[in-house]
Amino acid sequence: MIMLALPITVSAAEEKTQPDLGMWSWFQSAFITDTARKDILDFCIREGISHIDQHISIKKRKKSYFIENAEELKKLIIDAGKRNISVNVLRGNKHMFFEPLHSKVLEQLATVIEFDQQLPKKVHLSGIKYDVEPYLTTQWKAGWEKRKKVIQDYLVLLQKAKELLDKDAPHLELSVDVPFWWDNPEFAILFNGQENLFTHHIQDLTDWIAIMSYRTTSREVLKLVKTELTYAKQTGRSNSIAPGLETAEVHGEEYWTSFWETPPEKFRKTLEKLRQELSGNPAVRCIMIHHYKSLVNYLEQTPATIKRKVLTQEK
């Protein structure tokens, strides 16, 4: 049996204060059949994962938006709830928060709200998560003036989304994925009359953030999320920070940021140490793991498989 965490001896009180585990799931194949839904939920139960960010597709028919595979998504949410697993819908596109697309994004958010309202009584989504990476666009790379507009657009969209949720679905949480380096002072900006770090503005506008703190030691991960944890404590934002770990195969110079080429044993030990070091911190929501398909494949690796991959990388 694959296990994410090594068994350790802790008291019941200590165990309860350790952060939960969450997981990104990017493919609709994870929930569109009965077998697929059973597989992902069984995996979560087996590995102690209590939250899923499930990516969805929203399309347009005539003048109205609709969620693709809505009935299958509904079944996932219902079945997950029976197992005490929460589900966010996950959305992402590098251009999504640009100002010309705001109306479209908000219409699609309204579609998510309507979907949630049609779920059976007492069954709900946890919320909506946005994974938007504008730093991959030419506008971000074109210098500070254009980058400043990209940042402003991003924050304005979050503000509008939060206002819509507060009005029509206050039980749904707004969350985003952010790179660890958005807390760099060079991205500080004036917004709503307040000068602050980009990431801190995001924290002010959302219920929680997942930080792509992709490193393979607990010390390095904690270093990358320290600024956000400190701000959460200063502003009383409990349950609002989720450090992230990478298990997917990463190509190029940053391959070392993922556990993919390390033995699963190292991942388990790092995860357990990170949970212990974050134990009792009220600002911590969970530890997010990227992502379902890669995690399953990664944990099934053998030492021989890893050795072949490392030798290939070294060549």
Q: Return the DSSP state at 206.
A: S
Question: What is residue 304's predicted lDDT score, i.e. its pLDDT?
Answer: 56
Q: Is residue 253 part of a domain?
A: yes
Question: What is residue 17's predicted lDDT score, i.e. its pLDDT?
Answer: 84
DSSP codes, 58-109: EEEETTEEEETTHHHHHHHHHHHHHTT-EEEEEE--TTTTSGGGHHHHHHHH
Longest pairwise C-alpha distance within the chain: 58
Q: For residue 141, is pLDDT > 50?
A: yes
Q: Is residue 215 part of a domain?
A: yes
Which candidate, 286, 194, 198, 296, places its Cα nearest to that of 240?
286
Q: For residue 13, is pLDDT > 60?
A: no
How sure is the predictor about 306, in pLDDT bands with cuts at 50, 70 and 90? low
Residues 43-75 have pLDDT tens digits of 999 999 999 999 999 999 999 999 999 999 999
Question: What's the half-sphere exposure (Cβ side, CA atoms, 13 Å) at 295?
Answer: 25
**How many secondary structure helices (H) and strands (E) does the chain include?**
11, 12
Q: What average pLDDT score do residues 220-243 get?
A: 98
Question: What is residue 301's predicted lDDT score, i.e. its pLDDT?
Answer: 82
Q: What average pLDDT score do residues 117-129 get?
A: 97
What Rg do the C-alpha atoms of the chain give, in angstroms? Answer: 20
CATH number of domain containing 263: 3.20.20.80
Q: Is residue 3 part of a domain?
A: no
Residues 98-119 have pLDDT tens digits of 999 999 999 999 999 999 999 9
Is residue 187 within 8 A of residue 148, CB to CB? The reply is no
Q: For residue 303, is pLDDT > 80?
A: no
Q: Is residue 90 part of a domain?
A: yes
Q: Count the neighbouring beta carbons within 10 Å of the beta carbon of residue 108.
A: 21
Q: Rounded CA gap, 254 and 275, in Å?
A: 24
Q: Is residue 33 part of a domain?
A: yes
Cβ neighbourhood burial of 286 (10 Å; 0-12, 13-18, 19+):
buried
Residues 178-219 have pLDDT tens digits of 999 999 999 999 999 999 999 999 999 999 999 999 999 999
Q: Is residue 186 part of a domain?
A: yes
Q: Rounded CA gap, 137 and 36, in Å?
A: 34
How sure is the predictor about 302, in pLDDT bands with cuts at 50, 70 and 90? low
Residues 6+ apart with CB under 8 A from 237: 203, 231, 283
Q: What average pLDDT score do residues 129-145 get?
A: 98
Q: Which domain holds residue 180?
A: 12-314
Q: Rounded CA gap, 206 and 201, in Å?
A: 9
How sure is the predictor about 15, in pLDDT bands with cuts at 50, 70 and 90? very low
Question: What is residue 83's predicted lDDT score, i.e. its pLDDT?
Answer: 98
Question: What's the half-sphere exposure (Cβ side, CA atoms, 13 Å) at 156?
Answer: 15
- Per the prediction, the chain carries an average pLDDT of 93
Question: What is residue 96's predicted lDDT score, i.e. its pLDDT?
Answer: 98
What is the domain count for the chain? 1
Q: For residue 9, is pLDDT > 50?
A: no
Q: Rounded CA gap, 172 and 113, in Å?
A: 8
Q: Is residue 7 part of a domain?
A: no
Q: Is residue 235 part of a domain?
A: yes
